[in-house]
Amino acid sequence: MSEGRNKINWYPGHMAKARRLLSEQISRADVVVELCDARLPRASRNPDLIRLIQNREHILILQKSDLADEKETERWLAYFRSLGVTCAGIDVNRQYKQVMRLITDKAEAKVRQAQSRGISKTVRVMVVGVPNVGKSSLINRLNGSAVARVSDRPGVTRSNQWVKVNPYLELMDSPGLLWPRLDDQQAALRLSYIAAIRDDVQDVYDLALHLLDDMMEAKPDAVMERFRVNDASLRGAELLEAVCRGRGFLLRGNEADEERGCRVVLDEFRAGKLGRITLEKAPVPFPQRT
């Protein structure tokens, strides 16, 4: 992929503070539930967070799997399981109970251990992940009522809050966390497609161009039908041009209205108009030792 016109400054100041706080809190949690976006299971995992939760009881959830390709989600889950990761793909509105089951499995040993010493243990579960991935939505579902604010913008949750679900279980919501490395422009752009990074730090042209390319690789038929493009080999600026012409976004003098084309590409992807789509292919599962 080509370098963007501008480097994305994707690490807002408040996040350095949030990271310090999170690292302390993670060390006190019994189980960490890490959320990623099922449409981008690689780019939406924060390597910094992965380091912080290493050696802790950990569950990985591919959330928004209702928006991702079902078969591809299965392949991703097979891959993560081959690495020994406990994981599930969920639509938060319909499958949150699966997460509760996984938490219970992980917590059981700790609860029993405490019981054997005559202590009744409250299991503490932290929910972490990049902005806008659905952490607060999951907390609300697991809790059975809305305790955390949810919105389709990144950076909604600002402070970490404990929620007591029952006498044995406390959940902690956390602010979405990005990582400070600026070297991976591709991941930065991909995080923008799913609104984990605010649009106003972006060049919308770059964003739409990369998104179109990614969609064309993942689901060419849907792109060609939706945007009325008839050449599957087009990429980059030529593809954007074809999209504008296909959809009739033209300026005076028959020039393509790229600005409108870019906006529409982004909006329609985010509104799920291209159907279920996963933009990153799963690696082959790690070979198992026999």
Ligand X SMILES: Nc1nc2c(ncn2[C@@H]2O[C@H](COP(=O)(O)OP(=O)(O)OP(=O)(O)O)[C@@H](O)[C@H]2O)c(=O)[nH]1
Residues constituting the chain: 290
The answer to whether residue 131 forms part of the interface with ligand X (CB under 6 A) is yes
The stretch near ligand X (CB under 6 A) out of 15-23, 124-132, 159-167, 204-212 is 124-132
Strand, helix or coil for residue 84: coil
- Site residues for Mg ion, 14-33, by CB under 5 A, read none
3 binds, among ligand X, Mg ion, none (CB under 5 to 8 A by kind): none
The answer to whether residue 152 forms part of the interface with ligand X (CB under 6 A) is yes
DSSP codes of every residue in 149-213: ---SSSS---S-EEEEEETTEEEEE------S----HHHHHHHHHTTSS-GGGS-HHHHHHHHHH
Residue 157 CB, nearest approach to Mg ion (Å): 3
The answer to whether residue 156 forms part of the interface with ligand X (CB under 6 A) is yes
Residue the block writes with tokens 């198992």: 288
Kindly tell me which of 65 and 185 has the beta carbon lying closer to ligand X: 65
261 binds, among ligand X, Mg ion, none (CB under 5 to 8 A by kind): none
8 A C-beta contact, residue 188 and residue 178: no
What is the contact mask toward ligand X in residues 176 to 195, using x (rule: CB under 6 A)? x-------------------
The answer to whether residue 133 forms part of the interface with ligand X (CB under 6 A) is yes
- Torsion, Cα 81 37 224 250, to 10 degrees, reads -160
Q: Which of 181, 49, 32, 64 is nearest to 132 (CA)?
A: 64
Cα dist. 109→60, 85, 171, 282 in Å? Answer: 19, 18, 18, 32
Q: Which of 32, 47, 50, 160 is nearest to 102 (CA)?
A: 32
The answer to whether residue 136 forms part of the interface with Mg ion (CB under 5 A) is yes
The answer to whether residue 150 forms part of the interface with ligand X (CB under 6 A) is yes
4 binds, among Mg ion, ligand X, none (CB under 5 to 8 A by kind): none
Residues 6+ apart with CB under 8 A from 41: 62, 76, 80, 278, 280, 282
The answer to whether residue 154 forms part of the interface with ligand X (CB under 6 A) is yes
CA distance 204 to 206: 5
Kindly tell me which of 74 and 255 has the beta carbon lying closer to ligand X: 74
8 A C-beta contact, residue 60 and residue 80: yes
CA distance 129 to 287: 28
154 binds, among ligand X, Mg ion, none (CB under 5 to 8 A by kind): ligand X
Residue 135 CB, nearest approach to ligand X (Å): 4
User: Which of 39, 58, 106, 135: binder of ligand X (CB under 6 A)?
Assistant: 135
Q: Which residue is nearest to ligand X (CB)?
A: 176
The answer to whether residue 174 forms part of the interface with Mg ion (CB under 5 A) is no
What is the contact mask toward ligand X in residues 60 to 79, using x (rule: CB under 6 A)? ---xx-xx------------
CA distance 73 to 77: 6
- Site residues for Mg ion, 143-162, by CB under 5 A, read 156-157
Which chain residues interact with Mg ion by CB under 5 A?
135-136, 156-157
Which chain residues interact with ligand X by CB under 6 A?
63-64, 66-67, 91-92, 129, 131-137, 150-152, 154-157, 175-176
